[in-house]
Amino acid sequence: MNIIIAGCGKVGTILTAQLSQEEDIDICVIDTDGAIVNRMVSSYDVMGITGNCASYNTLAEAGIEDADLLIAVTESDELNLLCCVVARKAGKCHTIARVRNPIYSQEQGFLLKELGLSMIINPEYTAATAISQLLCFPNALSIETFSKGRAEMLRFRIREGSILDQMALKDLPTNLVNELLICAVERNNEVIIPSGDFVLQASDVVSLISSRKNAVEFFKRLRIKSNRVKSAMLIGGGRISLYLANMLLRLGISVKIIESNTKRCEELSMLLPEAVIVNGDGSDEDLLYEERIGQMDAFVALTNFDEENILLSLFAKKKVKSKVITKINRLQLNEVIHNLDLDSVVYPRHLTSEKILQYVRATQNSIGSNIETLYRLFDDRVEALEFNIQRESRITGVPLEKMNLRKNLLISCIVRENRIIIPSGQDMILPGDTIIVVTTILGLMDAQDILDTSGR
């Protein structure tokens, strides 16, 4: 597969780093800054072109006529859209554009149809969607959705005194884990795909997969409240705050935004008449107390400065009733953040690259299988993939207990005719099913890749 990545900023670099590790993918990067292009070429196994990505000559030099996919992720929405239009005319390839302006987001359907784009990705809207899901289920550290929302993977931390502490998975009460499966556990910076003998401990970060209804029942039996928040304080009035506030207000959640720029406050007051907009410094402790942070169910730090978001979140954890969410831009801070007692952390750039990587994998389908959904979890050490099983193959019609599955891989869910099946050893995969696989093996392309063929 031949891919051209136009724009070598943060998202372009993340995509290049991830896709360059995939087999059978050849990448060419384009940027106007020659020094950045040279750095990308020397850091990754890719080609590089210095030039304007919307120029036909530049795209021709990058191999647009033979390209399967062009991904435009420059800092300019207009340049990304123009680049995709030229690429479509010149090479007939699939095109993905990063578009951040809310005006264009409202016209997404028109742009996709009239410009022939395969996908438009908006990092801020994607981040706002992820945050709104967390505020609707505040006990989760993160939530990933599969099968159009029928199944969800929730990550949560086992607290001291929980009935799960020191309990083996095989000993979990049936009424507690009815129709759900614990599919991954992070402990001491190690990720484990657990067997039935695995013993849970306090401070473990656990991933479970189930329907939302069953997840709610699970937390209820653990005596943990799982209701959505009723009020949220947002620090920073940027695009994510605007998208998020609209989502929360539609859900009946009251919103208060603290923004230091007076002009932006005026804009937000016009755009969000139902929200409370406060002009002030969100890092001012007195102002936070004055705006009754202690009465808020949720606190979301959305400033442009990672360090400020981290400090604000650590302060808010002791004040708000339910949920604290921190926006982080720089993935390099991962190790530091991992050791902090933060609640949920959202990385807009990571979410963007994840969506694009999901699309790339889906276009590489083979032998009747197709990746519908892909998530990278636990700092990219685990993948959760949803495969659509379109026809009979070596993995259909065989009880799971008789399958020679690869190590560190778990078939965690089967979706059949809108019904979620948490599989046992006697269950079988049938044509028409979708299956959700959780594994530490990165880069699976086809559902049949779950089989261990090393002994053949």
Q: Grade residue 321 by pLDDT with cuts at 50, 70 and 90.
A: confident
What mean pLDDT value characterizes the chain? Answer: 89
Q: How far apart are CA 298 and CA 247, in angstroms?
A: 15
pTM of the model: 0.84
**Where does 48-76 have alpha helices with state H?**
56-61
For residues 212-238, give the mean pLDDT.
Answer: 87
Supply φ then ψ for residue 180, to 5 degrees.
Answer: -150, 160
Domains parsed from the chain with CATH numbers: 2-121 (3.40.50.720), 128-221 (3.30.70.1450), 231-345 (3.40.50.720), 359-450 (3.30.70.1450)
For residues 334-362, give the mean pLDDT.
Answer: 81
Residue 397 near residue 430, CB atoms below 8 Å: yes
Above 80 in pLDDT, residue 266?
yes
Amino acid 335: pLDDT = 66
For residues 152-159, give the mean pLDDT.
Answer: 90
Report which of 24, 384, 26 is spatially closest to residue 16, judged by C-alpha positions.
26
Q: What is the pLDDT of residues 15-26, one digit of tens each?
A: 999 888 877 789
Above 50 in pLDDT, residue 242?
yes
Half-sphere exposure of residue 8: CA atoms within 13 angstroms, side-chain side: 25
More confident residue, 409 or 108: 409
More confident residue, 454 or 419: 419
For residues 79-98, give the mean pLDDT.
Answer: 92
Residue 455: strand, helix, or coil: coil
Supply φ then ψ for residue 36, to 5 degrees.
Answer: -65, -40
Would you give the DSSP letter of residue 64?
Answer: G
Residue 385 near residue 379, CB atoms below 8 Å: no
Above 60 in pLDDT, residue 365?
no
Q: How far apart are CA 120 and CA 231, in angstroms?
A: 31
Q: Grade residue 48 by pLDDT with cuts at 50, 70 and 90.
A: very high
Q: How far apart are CA 86 and CA 235, in angstroms?
A: 40
For residues 352-373, give the mean pLDDT.
Answer: 72
For residues 218-231, give the mean pLDDT.
Answer: 83
Residue 368: strand, helix, or coil: coil
More confident residue, 214 or 175: 214
b/e per residue, 115-128, with b = 16+ CB within 10 A? eebbbbbbbbbbbb
Amino acid 369: pLDDT = 47
Residue 44 near residue 50, CB atoms below 8 Å: no
Q: Grade residue 332 by pLDDT with cuts at 50, 70 and 90.
A: low
Above 50 in pLDDT, residue 367?
no
Amino acid 429: pLDDT = 95
